[in-house]
Amino acid sequence: MLIGANLIVNEATPSIIDLAQRAEDRGMDCIFQGEHSHIPVTTEYPASAATGGKMPEFYRRFPDVFVTLAAAAAVTTRIRLGTGVALVAEHNSFHLAKATATLDRISGGRLDFGVGYGWNPPELANNGVPWEDRRQAFGEKLAVLKRLWTEDAVASDSTYSSFTESWVWPKPEQQPHPPVLLGAAGFRWQLEDVVRLCDGWYPMDRPEVPARLKSLRKMAADAGRPEPTISINMMAGQMPGAAWYFQDAAAMDELLQKAAAYQELGVQRIVVGIPMDTLDNATRGLDALATFTGLFA
């Protein structure tokens, strides 16, 4: 099982340059970085025991994910570069096709394209997508994106991505295109989209994952398609009030047990959060994860 690092980089954190180099030097398989185009001040953040409904500060500060990962690509040679996740429904299809293909080209084919529907109704609305249409917009734009990646000239008359026949270059380095991983909890309709539209599933670490993974595998088999790849996003301390695994023996043991359980389930990769307050702490997090690469090889 492969080990990766989940980053939340912004102007107040250590540099993506330093983090990407350190992650590669320590044998990480990948780094993932998320995105939000903006956060409307009217956003109601989901309440939880960790946050009490208060918006974590990092949500306000996401940089452009493709510029960020391009910087990481420039200072590394091997590590995979993941979007975790790109909000496809909120993007212009031409811009998204060009940004992803350019990143895949300049990185030598290292993009893992994690995608999601979007959880924030006013953010979607400000980008022209009503909440109730987010699945439709996501599906239409993802289908168009794959055509823009793989066909010479493309026209589309879908509701959320309509345009006349056009050339959009470059095309991705990876063929037929970068792997598409759906970041979603795994409700049945979301698993249907994994099977119908994507190459893999990228859920957060939750108790429901094993049962939903079993359902996903059956759905893929029934559809006669290859089994999707599975990566698990283990926040492991990134939310307020949670202990970092390298600072607490019990937290580290819990993380190791979860990783072993996921390996037993056939998960190909776990992507674990690292602290972003200081470069020293981020390095300590990566050092702790580096011990996993030998345990779960």
List, for residues 55-112, the tens digit of each pLDDT value: 888 999 999 999 999 999 999 999 999 999 999 999 999 999 999 999 999 999 999 9
- Identify the band that residue 47 occupies on the pLDDT scale cut at 50, 70 and 90: low
Tell me the percentage of the chain whose pLDDT exceeds 70. Answer: 96
Q: Is the pLDDT of residue 51 over 80?
A: no
Q: Is the pLDDT of residue 169 over 80?
A: yes
**What is the average pLDDT across 258-277?**
95
**Which CATH number belongs to the domain containing residue 170 in this structure?**
3.20.20.30
Structure tokens of 232? Answer: 């698990």
**What is the average pLDDT across 226-251?**
83
CA distance 63 to 70: 12
Q: Which residues contact 41 (CB under 8 A, 6 or more apart)?
A: none
Mean predicted lDDT score pLDDT of the chain = 94
Least confident of 164-168, 170-174, 202-206, 292-296: 292-296
| C-alpha closest to that of 146 among 116, 172, 165 | 172
Q: Say if strands 153-157 and 162-167 run parallel, antiparallel, or are unpaired.
A: antiparallel
Q: Is the pLDDT of residue 239 over 70?
A: no
What range does the domain containing 214 cover?
Answer: 2-295
- Identify the band that residue 13 occupies on the pLDDT scale cut at 50, 70 and 90: very high
Half-sphere exposure of 239 (CA within 13 A, CB side): 14
pTM: 0.95
CA distance 289 to 5: 8
User: Number of structural domains, the chain?
Assistant: 1
Would residue 228 be called left, alpha or beta, if left means φ above 0 and alpha means ψ between -120 and 50 degrees?
beta
**What is the average pLDDT across 205-233?**
96
Please give the DSSP secondary-structure letter assigned to residue 142: H
**What is the average pLDDT across 20-27?**
98
pLDDT at 54: 80
- Judged on CB neighbours under 10 Å (0-12, 13-18, 19+), 235 is middle
CA distance 6 to 205: 13
Q: Is the pLDDT of residue 287 over 70?
A: yes
Q: Is the pLDDT of residue 33 over 70?
A: yes
* CA distances from residue 278 to 21, 158, 274, 284 in whole angstroms, order as listed: 16, 46, 11, 10
pLDDT at 94: 98
DSSP 3-state of 57: helix
pLDDT at 240: 62
